[in-house]
Structure 1
Amino acid sequence: MNNINKYFYNYFIFILIAIPTHVFSQSIKNKNKYTYEVREEQGDLNHDGKIDRVTVKMDTVDETRPLRLQIFLSQPNGKLVLAVSSDKIIEPQYPTENQGKFNGYQIPNFFIEEGILKMWSEIRGGNITYHFKYKKGNFELIYVDKPTYDAPKGYIDENTIFTETKFDLITGIRTESDEKLGSTKPLTVRNKRVLIRPLPKIQDVKFSDKDLY
């Protein structure tokens, strides 16, 4: 083999070795980019008497600042095992469509009450709370509570209409009640039956789904 052929042979072997290594290392880097923990909640989610853990972590490298929700369930040996991971249930802090501007909302809070995982999020003109229940290996959306207000003058006064939306996904009953500031009873109450089957799983819920409920 002459020197030229030997050179190209060695270069070709180097490329074959280097490319997979680069791709592999890049893959590892991408998997571990959510490193900054911004939320943590602990409690029993699967009714086994052991403490489970819920975390929200941010990718501080990506300029949109995306967030990842993860749920860890305790095992009989006491170790925590990842049960669910979602990158789409929480809106990035600086969404692409905002051209680099802050979305205006704080990072959602999570609570565990009587085995129910609750996610409280700010939305335009109010807030929304999702209730998830663990069942057969999944966290299903069972209830949504969404209080909002409509202020014609741009600020809350006696003409502001407050709307409370309660959606029981198990029964399919969705109730909206309107009232004014200081009123003792609702102005109007609207009931609607909306069956969603199967019940949405937490990993399938997107932050934009707030408009569906």
Structure 2
Amino acid sequence: MSLFAQSIKNNYTYLVREENGDLNHDGKMDKITVKMDTVDESRPLRLQIFLSKPNGKLMVAVSSDKIIEPQYPAENHGKFNGYQIPNFFIEKGILKVWSEIKGGNITYHFRYNNSHFELIYVDKLTYDGTKGYIDENTVFTETKFDLNTGIRTESCEKSGSVKALKVRKKRVLIRPLPKIQDFKFSDKNLY
């Protein structure tokens, strides 16, 4: 009887982003890395979050290949996806992920809680860029969604205006809170 095992090689070798900060409020530096697989033609990206242990060493808490869209997705048939690789920030223990989206940008806020990173806040800004540029008739829509309270506020205003054209508030409870390891780049359409 012969047994064969497939070895899975780690091709995520090119470091694209790195951020350091305290994510779990233990006073020690944690680390976030984004690495690209340069062998795969779609150029997928892997997010890894490392938390510090009491001895100062780092251990992998989260590893996800789904949260960031590949640079050349298969459905684009070898063409660039058109978006920058997301930026990651650590501010007051909150992991913030800033991404470009069609007609704007979105920022996700994740908090470390009970051994998980939970989505607690989403801030999205879009504009009706049908002309390809911003002028005095461009309408901006800002969406702020606090997942802890479930309050989602959407306000629209015209470029250069100080008063909102309309403000809509509604309550949308999502329980349990989404976890970063389950998050996919296509989830941006949910918020």
CA–CA separation in structure 2 for the residues paired with 1:34 and 1:201: 23
User: Which structure 2 residues correspond to residues 115-194 of structure 1 after superposition, within 5 A?
Assistant: 115-194=93-172
Superposed CA RMSD in Å reads: 1.1
Which residue identity lines up with residue 196 of structure 1 in the other structure? I
CA–CA separation in structure 2 for the residues paired with 1:118 and 1:174: 18
1:171 Cα deviation after fit: 0.3
1:63 Cα deviation after fit: 0.3
CA–CA separation in structure 1 for the residues paired with 2:181 and 2:133: 36
Whichever structure has more helix as a proportion of its residues is: 1
Tell me the residue number matched to 1:8: none
1:110 Cα deviation after fit: 0.2
CA–CA separation in structure 2 for the residues paired with 1:152 and 1:87: 32
Unaligned runs of 5+ in 2: none
Question: C-alpha deviations, 1:189-209, integer Å up to 9, x for none?
Answer: 000110000000001111011
Whichever structure has more strand as a proportion of its residues is: 2
| Counterpart pick for 1:33 among 11, 34, 37 | 11
CA–CA separation in structure 2 for the residues paired with 1:110 and 1:151: 26
Identity between Structure 1 and Structure 2 (%): 79
Question: C-alpha deviations, 1:72-120, integer Å up to 9, x for none?
Answer: 0000011000000111000000001101000010100000000000000
1:151 match: secondary structure: coil
Unaligned runs of 5+ in 1: 1-12
| Counterpart pick for 2:75 among 97, 115, 119 | 97
CA–CA separation in structure 2 for the residues paired with 1:142 and 1:179: 25
Count residues with an aligned counterpart: 191
Larger radius of gyration: 1
After TM superposition, the score normalised by the length of structure 2 is 0.97
Structure 1 runs (4+) greater than 6 angstroms displaced: none
